[in-house]
Amino acid sequence: MNLHELYADLLDGPLNILMSKEEILRTIETPKFSHQGDLSFPCFQLAKKKKQSPAAIANELAGSLDSPYLLKAEAAGPYVNIFFKGNETGKEIMADILSKGDEFGTHSFGDGKVITIDMSSPNIAKPFSMGHLRSTVIGNSIALLAEKCGFETVKINYIGDWGTQFGKLITAYKKWGDEEKVKANPIPELFSLYKKFHEEAESSPALNDEGRRAFKLLEDGDPEMVELWTWFKKESLSAFEEIYELLGVSFDSYHGESFYNDKMEAAVELIKEKGLLETSDGAEVVWLDDKGLPPSLIKKSDGATLYATRDIAAALYRKKTYDFSQALYVVGQEQTIHFRQVIGVLEKLGMSWAGQMIHIPFGLFLQHGKKMSTRKGRVVLLEEVLKEAIAIAHTNIKQKNPNLENAEETARWVGTGAVIFHDLKNDRMNDIEFSLHDMLTFEGETGPYVQYTHARAHSILRKAASSQQTEFSGLKDPESWELIKILNKYPEAVQDAYLNYSPSIIAKYLLAVSKAFNKYYGKTRILEENEELPSRLLLVKTVTNTLSDGLGLLGIQAPKQM
Tell the burial category of 226 from Cβ atoms under 10 Å away from its Cβ (0-12, 13-18, 19+): middle
Model confidence band, residue 301 (pLDDT cutoffs 50, 70, 90)? confident
Sign, CA torsion 495/499/502/508: negative
Q: What is the pLDDT of residues 77-127, one digit of tens each?
A: 999 999 999 999 999 999 999 999 999 999 999 999 999 999 999 999 888
Helix (H), strand (E) at residue 42: strand 39-42
| Phi, psi at 86, each rounded to 5° | -55, -40
Residues 524, 80: contact at Cβ < 8 Å? no
Q: What is the pLDDT of residues 505-541, one digit of tens each?
A: 999 999 999 999 999 999 999 999 999 999 999 999 9
Model confidence band, residue 305 (pLDDT cutoffs 50, 70, 90)? low
pLDDT in the model for residue 368 = 76
Q: Cβ–Cβ contacts within 10 Å for residue 89, how many? A: 25
| Phi, psi at 501, each rounded to 5° | 50, 50
Q: Whole-angstrom Cα distance, residue 314 to residue 320? A: 10
Residues 130, 372: contact at Cβ < 8 Å? yes
Residues 240, 122: contact at Cβ < 8 Å? yes
pLDDT in the model for residue 378 = 60
SS3 at position 359: strand
Q: Using the CB atoms, write b or e for 234-247: b if 16+ within 10 Å.
A: ebbbebbeebbebb
Q: Cβ–Cβ contacts within 10 Å for residue 516, how many? A: 21
SS3 at position 330: strand
CA torsion 386-391-397-399 (nearest 10°) is: -150
Model confidence band, residue 375 (pLDDT cutoffs 50, 70, 90)? low
Q: Whole-angstrom Cα distance, residue 120 to residue 251? A: 10
Q: What is the pLDDT of residues 199-215, one digit of tens each?
A: 999 999 999 999 999 99
Q: Which residues contact 398 (CB under 8 A, 6 or more apart)?
A: 407
Q: Whole-angstrom Cα distance, residue 291 to residue 287? A: 9
Q: Which CATH superfamily is domain 421-553 in?
A: Isoleucyl-tRNA Synthetase; Domain 1 (1.10.730.10)
pLDDT in the model for residue 172 = 97
CA angle 44, 49, 55 (to 5 degrees): 35
CATH fold for the domain made of 3-84: Gyrase A; domain 2 (3.30.1360)
Determine how β-strand 70-76 pairs with β-strand 152-156.
Answer: unpaired
Q: Cβ–Cβ contacts within 10 Å for residue 86, how many? A: 23
Q: Using the CB atoms, write b or e for 157-188: b if 16+ within 10 Å.
A: bbbbbbbbbbbbbbbbbeeebeeeebeeebbe
Residues 43, 78: contact at Cβ < 8 Å? yes
Q: Cβ–Cβ contacts within 10 Å for residue 383, how many? A: 16
Among the listed residues 169, 267, 180, 284, the one whose alpha carbon sits nearest the alpha carbon of residue 218? 169
Strands, E, within 203-356: which ranges? 277-280, 283-286, 296-299, 326-330
DSSP code of residue 253: B
Q: Cβ–Cβ contacts within 10 Å for residue 189, how many? A: 20
| Phi, psi at 157, each rounded to 5° | -95, 95
Q: Which residues contact 476 (CB under 8 A, 6 or more apart)?
A: 86, 87, 532
pLDDT at 128 > cutoff 90: no
Q: Whole-angstrom Cα distance, residue 329 to residue 326? A: 10
pLDDT at 376 > cutoff 60: no
Distances in whole angstroms, Cα of residue 418 to Cα of each of 83, 118, 198, 328, 404: 37, 24, 35, 26, 19
| Phi, psi at 557, each rounded to 5° | -80, 155
Q: What is the pLDDT of residues 38-88, one digit of tens each?
A: 999 999 999 989 999 999 999 999 999 999 999 999 999 999 999 999 999
Among the listed residues 400, 398, 379, the one whose alpha carbon sits nearest the alpha carbon of residue 390? 398
pLDDT at 557 > cutoff 60: yes
Q: Whole-angstrom Cα distance, residue 143 to residue 328? A: 10
Residues 404, 561: contact at Cβ < 8 Å? yes
- DSSP structure string for 149-167: TT-EEEEE---B--SHHHH
- DSSP structure string for 331-345: --GGGHHHHHHHHHH
Residues 191, 128: contact at Cβ < 8 Å? no
Spans of all domains in the chain: 3-84, 161-248, 421-553
Q: What is the pLDDT of residues 15-33, one digit of tens each?
A: 988 999 999 999 999 999 9
Q: Whole-angstrom Cα distance, residue 338 to residue 345? A: 11
| Phi, psi at 304, each rounded to 5° | -70, 145
